[in-house]
Amino acid sequence: MAVGDSQLDGEARETIRAGTDPGPEITDRLGAALARRAEKEGLVEVAYAEIDSPIGTLLAATTERGLIRVGWESSDHEDILEGLARAVGPRVLEAPSRLDPLKRELDEYFDGDRRRFEVPLDWSLTSGFVRDVLTETARIPFGETRTYAEVAAAAGSPRAFRAAGSALGANPIPVVVPCHRVLRKGGALGGYGGGLPVKRKLLEVEGVAA
């Protein structure tokens, strides 16, 4: 039978009174209980979790609106969380259950069983031309690619292909917003925030040779 939150609180208080180390088990259980309580009382502004994938351990964060951030394994996850605290609000809490829908969709995607992500998105970290470019990028179908110039044109600025590249480099929700589907004219990979091997891997998942 699962231990109730009140019982966990009691165990923690007794441990503190005794001046002993609560140990990792009680610490983890108490942390989970506090996370559940914070979610129940609406105190969480950003929920996050680390998700294992074939391209490394991703940091994913969501708000009430939807998925707001995906960070690469090569990124500083603590720095990303601090940035979210500044941009969204200080109540940032690890809550893996909130990211379960994304984890399931990512697993299906890498297994070849999903062609389109359905988790809701929170675009609040983007604005202006960057958001226009990323919105158009999100419309590129699975298994298809576009050039930087084509994405710039779709976003309303045909000559701004270099700015489009910068906008794609600022994509806060990679993989789900598929900036890996944007290539240089002629099919060269171009750049990618997660590194070119990751971009190539994602295209291979979708049956695209670059």
Angle formed at CA 164 by CA 181 and CA 140, multiple of 5 degrees: 30
Annotated active-site residue in 81, 152, 155, 179:
179
Residue 179 a catalytic site member: yes
Please state, in angstroms and rounded to a whole number, the distance separating the CA atoms of residues 203 and 141.
12
**β-strands 146-147, 182-183: how paired?**
parallel
Only one residue has tokens 């941009």, namely 87
Tell me how many degrees the CA angle 137-143-145 measures, rounded to the nearest 5: 45
Rounded distance between C-alpha atoms, residue 87 and residue 166, angstroms: 20
Block residue for tokens 């394994």: 73
Q: Spell 10-26 as b/e; 16+ CB within 10 A means b.
A: ebbeebeeeeeebeeeb
Active site residues: 179
